[in-house]
Structure formats: C-alpha cells, structure tokens
Amino acid sequence: MSSRPDRRHSPRAPPARFPSRVVTLQGTGRNCISRKVCSGWHNSRIPRTDRSAVNLRDDRFNIWPISSPTVAESDLSSPSLVDDLYFVLHDNVTGHPLLHSRLTGLALAGGVLGELMLAERVALDFAANPERLYPTAGEIAGDPLTRAVLGHVIAEPHHPIGTWLLFFARTIYADVAARMIAAKLLKPPVRHLLKQQPPAPADMNTAAWPLARLNLAIQRRRPPVDRDCVLLGLLVAAGCAQRVLSEHDPRFAAAATAMLPMPLRRLIAQTKVAVGQAVISRR
C-alpha cells in the first residue's frame, strides 16, 4: 500500500473573508490586471446578487476608504489626480489612448482644475452669473504646469469654468505628458520606423493602481477618498467609465460624486457639458 496520506476527506481551511489590501499586479494587458486585482473580493459580506439593493447613502461616511497601501494621499511625490487620470485614460502597458485626443484633453483640463480646487488654490464664485473661477492664493507655487495654469487664472479671474476648460484643453495633453516624463512616470516616446509610439508607463503597477482603487471601491461599495471621487466623476464626464471599469455602477458613481463639495461637483458637470459639445460638434 502507498504511504501517501488520503487527502480526499481531509478538512480544508475556509477561504479568507477579506484578502490582504497589498495587491500584487501581474500579467499583461488592462483586463488581465483588473481581474487579478478584483478576483479576491468574491467572498465579501455582501453577495454579488444582493449588491444592487445596498443603500449607498448609508455607507457614505465609511471610515475605511480605498487608498494605496504604500502611498499616502498627502505625499507630494506620489502621482497626482491628473497623473492618475492620464493612467486610466491610457493603456497601462503600451500607453495608447482610449479616447479621442480632444476628449482626453477636456478630461485632463478638468483634472488640473480639480487638483487646484482640492488644494484650495482656486474656488468658484457662485454669486456671479455665470459662475466664475477665481484664485484664493496670490502666490504661484508648484510644478511648471501648475504654476502656468494658476498664473492664467490669476491674470484673468473673470472667466467662467467652461471657458477655462476649453482653453486649457488645447495644450494640456502634451503638458501633462511632458510633466509625467520629467517625473519618470512615463517613458519618452519612441519612434519605430515610420510610426512614433506614445509614451508608455515606466511602471505597470503604478499605472494600474488608480483603476484598481476604483474597481475595489465599487466592488466593496465603499466610497473612496475625495481625490478618487473626482477621478471617478471625471471618467463618467468623459464617457469612459463604462469602458475602463470592470463593473460600472451609475448609482455608486452618482453617490460618490454627491459627496464632493459643490465647486468640484460643478467642475465635473461642466466637464461633462464640454465633452458633450465636443462630441456633437466633432471638433
């Protein structure tokens, strides 16, 4: 007889209810990484068939938001809101864009203004008609892109937010890519024969993490931090949420956006209007 133990009736340890929050991103391609990140959450306390009945309003003030296990939100060396938005709007391996360049530019313009609003560098004047964007800080500080954007707003504080979105969308695509290349978040573009390849992410894990945070937040039905709420709102405004998210839930996106202060909600709404006008006009 064989000396090997009979494992047919040996007890098995029950599966872990919640896996570790330190996620290892592996594989190639956007879909493979998303499945790897989200495959461990099928045994959550809320069954998948019952998640549509969850009252999102009661879960808005959850004290455990989805955040990076290694990078704090206040860490200035970490990728910013605009960097995260750029990563989500491009393939995290090849760097190819997922949207038309004009729509991507409008979304990135909204991200730059969202960064300034989160940092309380600009605000909205609701008493004006239409609502105008004005600076709250007189000094100009930050990286060259932030200084340039803030300098324009300080010089001409009487324009509405929709005008600023159209103005910055003209050049913001190239400016954000140049800033991320300088920060070594992107590799410089490479020319192969007669075709130039777009800038590719320098680290695939860093590029995949913003989308992984959103997917985990949606699957766990826990609202993310404010920066990721703005990121999710801008994805919806750009019309790209259903394409990039593994499980797009319009009710969750609406509840997450409703958590934001009014200026950020107006920014997301104006970005959606600008994207809609760009799609209709085809310019």
Task: Please report, for residues 120, 192, 278, the alpha-carbon distance to residue 203 in angstroms, rounded to integers and kept in the order given.
Answer: 30, 21, 32
Give pLDDT tens digits for 227-259: 999 999 999 999 999 889 988 888 999 999 999
pLDDT at position 16, please?
A: 40
pLDDT at position 280, please?
A: 86
Q: What is the DSSP letter of 97?
A: B
- First-residue to last-residue Cα distance in the chain: 78
Domain ranges of the chain: 80-281
Task: Please report, for residues 49, 243, 265, the alpha-carbon distance to residue 109 in angstroms, rounded to integers and kept in the order given.
Answer: 38, 20, 15
Tokens of 266: 């107006």
pLDDT more than 90, % of the chain = 52
Give pLDDT tens digits for 61-71: 343 444 443 33
pLDDT at position 79, please?
A: 74
Q: Does domain 80-281 have CATH number 1.10.3630.10?
A: yes
pTM: 0.72
pLDDT at position 34, please?
A: 38
Please give the backbone phi and psi of residue 160, each rounded to the nearest 5 degrees, phi first.
-75, 165
Nearest partner of 41 among 205, 222, 193, judged by Cα: 222
pLDDT at position 46, please?
A: 33
pLDDT at position 44, please?
A: 35
pLDDT at position 282, please?
A: 65
CB 37 within 8 A of CB 215: yes
**Which residue ranges of the chain lie beneath pLDDT 50?**
7, 9-11, 13-77
